[in-house]
Structures are given as C-alpha cells and as structure tokens.
Structure 1
Amino acid sequence: MSSDPLSVLLIEDNPGDARLFEEMLRETAELPRRTDAGDSGDALSFAHEQRLDDGLDALTAGDADVVLLDLNLPDSTGLDTLATVVDETGMLPIIVLTGLDDREVGIQAIERGAQDYLVKDNVTSDLLVRSIHHALERNRQDREQARRREQLEALNRLNRIAQDVTHAVITTSTQEELEQAVCDRLVDSDAYRFAWIGDVSGAAGDVTPRASAGLEEGYLDGVSITASDDTEKGPTGRAIQTGAVQVMQNIRTDPAYEPWREDALERGYQSSAAIPILYGDVLYGVLNVYASSPNAFSDPEAEILARLGSVIGHAIAAIERKEALVSDAVTELEFAVDDFAEELTSVTAQHDCTVEIDNLIQNDEAVLAYAHVDGLSRERFSEAVDRSAVLDDARILGGDAEEFEVELVTDAAMALFEALATHGGNVDSATVADGEFRFVTEVPGGRDTRPLIDIVTDHCPGASLLAQRTGQARDENSARSLAFEDRLTDKQRTALETAYLAGHFEWPRETNGEEIADRLGISPPTFHQHLRAAEKEVFSLMFEDE
C-alpha cells in the first residue's frame, strides 16, 4: 500500500548544489523505504527556492514534510536564517546545510530548533537520506511528546475545574447559582472562550439558554438550536438526543456546524463540546463549551466533561430534593395506565367496585400498597390477585365481607418509585375502578414537570397523563410531621409506618412483627429494633420538654 509522497523544500541559493541534492534524493531507493513514502516513481515531491522570503512563501502555500536550509542566503545569513524559519514553521523538521565545517555552528543550530546539521562537502546520498529519516522520526517523537504534554496540562486544568465545580455544588443553594458558577469557572480557566447551559423546551425541542459566561457577544441571540428529530441538530441537539458528549473538533471544516459556522468563527470559536447534564434517566439541560483552537477536546477530556455533566445533574437533583422537603406547594400528576394489573381492573369493570390505594411504602425488595376495597367479595378479590402477573401477594387485614382493608405486594413498580424518589417525586395514591388503573404522583410545586412525566412514561410505556393539579403539601399538623421526619431515620420511619398501616397496633393485632419483617425483607429482631427506636423518638418528641 502506498502513502503520500515525501515533500522536501530546499532553500539554497546555489543552483549546482540544489541540482546535486535533488539528484541524490531522486536516485536512491532507500528514501521510500525509510520514510514510508509512495511508490518509487512518485515517492518524492521536491521544491527549490533561492531566497528566504520565497521559501517562507512556499512553506505558507504548501505542505512540506522537511526543510533543507542553507544558512547563508542573499536575504539572510547565519543562525538568524534558521530562527526566522523556526518562528514561521513551528515544529516542522529542519536540516541545516552549510559550506563551513564548523561544529560549534552545528551545535547552536540544533539548540535553536534544527533537527540535524550537514556540511555540504561531506554530504552523500546515504547520509542525506539517513539525516532526513532521523529528522522526521525525531520530529514525530517531539510532536508526540508535545501532544502528550499539552493533553496532560489540559487534563490537569480540567480536573481542577471539576474540583471547583464540585465545591460550587456544595456551596450554592439554588440551581441558578450553580449553573452560573459552572459557566464562570470554565471561562475563568482561560482554556475555554465561552460556556453556556441550555434547557430543552417545547414540542420542537428548542434549546433555551439558562446561564452563560465568556466572549459570547450576542452569539446565542443569532443562532437557533433544536433537539428535534426532523431538523439539523448539531452537537447540542445530538448530545440531548444521545445522552453522550458530542465534540466538534474543527468548526471551520465540520459540515455538521454549517448553520452556525459564520457566527462561531466571527467570535473566535474553533472547536466545541456539548455535554448533557444527566442524573439517572433525567436530562436537566446541556452544557456547551467553546475553545479558541481546533482539536481542543481529546477523548480523555471528553470523559472528564461527561463526568462533570453527571456531577452537575446530581447537584441539581439534590437541590430539587431539598426544595421538595421545604416546599408548601405540590404538583399532582394523574396518569392512567393500560395493561397494568389487568385481572384486577377487569373485575372492577364487571362488579362495580373500587380499590383505593392511599398508602404506598417502598422497601429494598418490593412496594407495599395498603388499600380499601369496596363492593367486591373477598373471594373474587383474592382470585383476581392470584391471577395477576404484577401482584405478588395480598393479605386481607380486616373489614366486612365486601368492604375491607388489604395489603398488596408488588415489585413491578420498584424502578418507577426509585426514579421518582431520586428527583424529589413520589407515587401518592392509586385507584382501580370502572376497569381502569390510575395513579397520582406528587412533585414539588413550581418545577418543570416534563422530566417527571418522561420518567413515568419511560417506566410505564402504557401510561398517559390525564391531569395536572397544584395544591398544598402540608396540613395543620405539618410542624409536628416535619419534627418527626427530622428525628426518624428512613428505616425507622418505614418500620413504624408499615406497622401502623398493617394493623400491628390494633387489638387484637391484624399483623404480627414476624409478618411485617417478612414484608420488609428484614429479620424480626431488626424490625423490632427499628420499631422500638422509632417509638422512642416519637414519644420523646411528645413528652420531653423543649
């Protein structure tokens, strides 16, 4: 397999020396083998200029792989010639040629950026080929070291940014403060020119900025970004759709950036990264970062940015949970679900009865639902539960022949309960009546409910939203309720609530401690330990002086 020919630029004012060097390179078969150039017929692209200015113009216009440079030219002499070429070409390999057998000049040339030093009178074809080969190899190694050094510096810088963002997560109390702190910190590093965080809104998936920092200069006013499936999405839209970091390494050449290229380049943006802000299955927005140089986002940097998006998502979720605990207002979302507990829903359609579930408790293994059944015999209810694929067990706790209290056990809703709880929501109640299964979720008031609706529909594909209502989270006993919440651990509260709902405190008891422990998936001693500890906290709150 052939590759591109080796491009050599000779800057030499002596035409005879120039012809000699070209003949040496063209006549040798060693050059293609050593440099992985093309087939021998087209292995070499050779250009010759006699003046330094003309050579610099050729370097600007072409893609030379190596420069053979005479230090003494009509328009420049000595090591200044080398310095000028080094300044113009950066890391391009340069081999210095001179008629003087001066070792000191050679050493100084290498110290100032040349890869090698050859005395014209001593140059042979083999020596020239070896010198070019070694210059290219050393240059490749130098470039690789520089690339790794730059990458390490970028990773260290980005890790420091991530640490500062983590600190901002701890010290900020609102989502707005957090997102602005993130954008400010990214731009303060001088590694990035502009950063902004956007929200996805509307049926078309329009992306609306929420926070920004840096040299924006009206960029967001002049561009339209969407995450919908039927339009050009760009990196931001793809990040939203895929849930993965999307990197644009060269805005100038990447065709996917066409709608925004002119505005971006005008502001000095050369590369960009779009980072989805995720926690669990919920998308909280997308972070966009722009750099002033191409190829600014390596794979390791993209991985750190992905983790940064997760940290921000986790922080926003934590802020929402905190707001949920202190918010007086709640939003209720009522859903109807097709194809769930069909055996029970069909019974309610046939016998004009209802199953009202008012209390739901999640433990490590299942969800316990405490319900009131009205208008259905115990036998028919038990038969429906036995046939159900989603109800694992049921116990009748007390009541009459056709109006009684029951405890239901299911693990089918575990994933939904966990996902909602992660984002400050919960399933408040459920109803089975007239052949339909409905349930109500509660989320803190004032919050965008679309992520929570997405959670429900993702975990219950047959669910459809029926209503959205606002209300108050607490009643006149809220102060006492909050005091209990502060004093009880999650396990203590679960043990106490389950015992109460299961009739453990009735006389005679409807459920003993062993049965409750079995429902909670813990040992009886552990249950009694949690229960006694919860009782002590409740009684101390009631009877001890402030």
Structure 2
Amino acid sequence: MTETDDDDGSVLEVEFRFERAAYPFVRASAVADCTLELAELVPRADGRYAEFFNVTGGDPEQIAALAAEHEGTEVSLVESYRDGSLFEFMVSDGCPARRLAELGALPRRVRGSAGRGTIVAEIPSDADAAGIVERFLEETPEATLASKRSKPSMTPLLSEATLHRRLETRLTERQLEVLRTAFDAGYYDWPRESSGKEIAAELGISSATFSEHIHAAERALITTLFEER
C-alpha cells in the first residue's frame, strides 16, 4: 500500500482496490471483457441510489444480465453508442460506492476493468476521515486501501459555463426548474434535507410528476457528463 500525506490540503482523497470481487462493476468487467466507469451517483427518494456507468466494449445484454444477478440491483440501458453504452444501476444494498457515500465520502471515480476494481473518493475537511476509512474497510473485507493524499479542494465535475450551456439545450424549462428547486431545497444533500413529496408540494405538482421531471433531468445531466468524458 502506498500512502502520501500533504498537510496543506483540506480534502482527503482515498483510493480503494478490489481484486476478484463479486460486485457488478468488477465482475462484469471480467466476464464481459469491458470497462465500466461511474459517471454519477444519485440518491433516490426511496433510499436507493442510481449509479450511471459508462461501459466501453462488451455486449450490453450480457452486461445487464450479469449486473442483475447481484442481489439488490436493478439494471436498465440508458443509451447505446458506437463503442459503448450508458447503464443505470439502481442499487439498494451491497454496493461499496453507495456505502462510501452514506459514510460521508464522495466517490469520484469507480472503475472496473479486467476483473479489478478501483474506487477513488474524496472526504471533506469537516468529516472524520480516519473513522470513515476504518469503518469502510471493516465492513468491506474485499477492499484494500491503496493510497491517500490531501488536496486543497474538491474536484469539480464540469465547469459552470459548460454545464449551463449543455443544460439549456437538453432540458425543458420545467425540468430545469424542478432540478434547481430540488437542489436548492437540499434534495441532493447527504443526509437529504427535503423529500420529493415536499418539493412537489412547493412546486404545486404531484409526486409522480416531480419524479418524472427529476429523473428526465438527471438522465440529461448524466448524458452530458458521459459525453464530456
């Protein structure tokens, strides 16, 4: 294990590795001969998490079947491309990236290739970094801590200008309004500050309509991230 520390930083970046793990993003990379990379992790109102994975190579049907074999995981193909695809994995339990998010770390890179998995996460300065790492390793015996280092700030996913430009072309005005309202209300905070039902009431729409708009907006945003990468 390689560890580097820089006391000048305020954010701790940690890297975990998984060898021969049964997690879908690791197993599918070995069996289907493909590479899976997490594009975004989104909490849902029912306590589950939607994980959007970029997949390069492999047969989409085989990848979906392999992921579906994992208990607590629902799989759907979002979009197919010439050299890959975008999948949504809906997970309720047994996912290391989800567990890190629940503990207070922010997964920035989740990758499975050739049967080996890697998760790089950032832990904010106000969190108990040592406690998060210790607890995660205790609960996840398949994981090993490969490295850790301090850095001055969290990693941005997209520049603000790029994000606004893409969203203007991909989202309807109503979808953008719902997405912005949800964000301002703490819908994407951990722990969540407002539920989908509460935000729907604020917007004067039904919970079903809120769910429809927010999921469409999230998919448009994830597609933007996928194309940027």
Q: TM-score range by the shorter chain?
A: 0.5 to 0.7
Aligned to 1:238: none
Shift of the 487–346 alpha-carbon distance from structure 1 to 2, 3 Å rule, reads closer
1:384, 1:436 → 2: CA distance?
A: 16
Asked whether the 8 Å contact 1:372–1:403 carries over to 2, the reply is yes
Aligned to 2:71: 389
Shift of the 393–348 alpha-carbon distance from structure 1 to 2, 3 Å rule, reads same
1:452 to 111, 132, 147: 132
Give yes or no for the alignment of 1:469 onto 2:149.
Answer: yes
Give yes or no for the alignment of 1:440 onto 2:120.
Answer: yes
2:107, 2:188 → 1: CA distance?
A: 20
Aligned to 1:27: none
Aligned to 2:22: 341
Asked whether the 8 Å contact 1:415–1:459 carries over to 2, the reply is no
Aligned to 1:490: 186
Aligned to 1:331: 12
CA shift for structure 1 position 336? 1.5
CA shift for structure 1 position 342? 4.6
Aligned to 2:35: 354
Aligned to 2:62: 380
2:65, 2:182 → 1: CA distance?
A: 42
Aligned to 2:211: 527
Asked whether the 8 Å contact 1:344–1:388 carries over to 2, the reply is no
2:130, 2:32 → 1: CA distance?
A: 36
2:89 to 408, 411, 426: 408
Letter matched to residue 92 of structure 2: D
Aligned to 2:3: none
CA shift for structure 1 position 474? 5.1
CA shift for structure 1 position 329? 4.4
1:447, 1:493 → 2: CA distance?
A: 14
Percent of residue pairs identical: 17
Letter matched to residue 367 of structure 1: Y
CA shift for structure 1 position 375? 1.1
Give yes or no for the alignment of 1:428 onto 2:108.
Answer: yes
CA shift for structure 1 position 358? 2.3
Query: Where do residues 137-148 of structure 1 align in structure 2 (5 Å cutoff)?
Result: none
Q: Which has the larger strand fraction?
A: 2
Query: Where do residues 67-466 of structure 1 align in structure 2 (5 Å cutoff)?
Result: 329-338=10-19, 340-342=21-23, 344-363=25-44, 364-390=46-72, 392-400=73-81, 402-412=83-93, 413=95, 415-418=99-102, 420-421=103-104, 425-445=105-125, 449-466=129-146
Asked whether the 8 Å contact 2:56–2:85 carries over to 1, the reply is yes
Query: Secondary structure at 1:461's aligned position in 2?
Result: coil
Query: Secondary structure at 1:365's aligned position in 2?
Result: coil
Query: Secondary structure at 2:58's aligned position in 1?
Result: coil
Shift of the 385–454 alpha-carbon distance from structure 1 to 2, 3 Å rule, reads same
Q: CA RMSD in A?
A: 3.8
1:379, 1:435 → 2: CA distance?
A: 18
Gaps spanning 5+ residues in structure 1: where?
Answer: 1-327, 495-521, 532-546
CA shift for structure 1 position 427? 2.4
CA shift for structure 1 position 438? 1.8
Aligned to 1:215: none
Once the two structures are superposed, what CA deviation does each residue of 1:403-446 show, in whole Å capped at 9, x if it has no partner?
0111111112355432x23xxx3223311111012212211259
2:87, 2:214 → 1: CA distance?
A: 24
* Largest Rg, 1 or 2: 1
Q: TM-score, normalised by structure 1?
A: 0.27
CA shift for structure 1 position 487? 6.7
1:474, 1:438 → 2: CA distance?
A: 17
Letter matched to residue 78 of structure 2: L
Asked whether the 8 Å contact 1:332–1:443 carries over to 2, the reply is yes
CA shift for structure 1 position 493? 7.9
Letter matched to residue 60 of structure 2: R
Asked whether the 8 Å contact 2:122–2:154 carries over to 1, the reply is no
Shift of the 530–395 alpha-carbon distance from structure 1 to 2, 3 Å rule, reads closer
Give the aligned length. Answer: 170
Asked whether the 8 Å contact 2:32–2:59 carries over to 1, the reply is no
2:10, 2:39 → 1: CA distance?
A: 20
Once the two structures are superposed, what CA deviation does each residue of 1:182-232 show, in whole Å capped at 9, x if it has no partner?
xxxxxxxxxxxxxxxxxxxxxxxxxxxxxxxxxxxxxxxxxxxxxxxxxxx
Shift of the 401–389 alpha-carbon distance from structure 1 to 2, 3 Å rule, reads farther
CA shift for structure 1 position 362? 2.0
Shift of the 331–395 alpha-carbon distance from structure 1 to 2, 3 Å rule, reads same
Greater displacement, 336-345 / 452-461: 336-345
1:397, 1:351 → 2: CA distance?
A: 18
Q: Which has the higher contact order (CA 8 A, sep 6+)?
A: 2
Q: TM-score, normalised by structure 2?
A: 0.59
CA shift for structure 1 position 527? 2.5
CA shift for structure 1 position 386? 2.7
1:446, 1:334 → 2: CA distance?
A: 19
1:377, 1:398 → 2: CA distance?
A: 13
Shift of the 407–447 alpha-carbon distance from structure 1 to 2, 3 Å rule, reads closer
Gaps spanning 5+ residues in structure 2: where?
Answer: 1-8, 165-179, 191-205, 216-229
Asked whether the 8 Å contact 1:337–1:460 carries over to 2, the reply is no
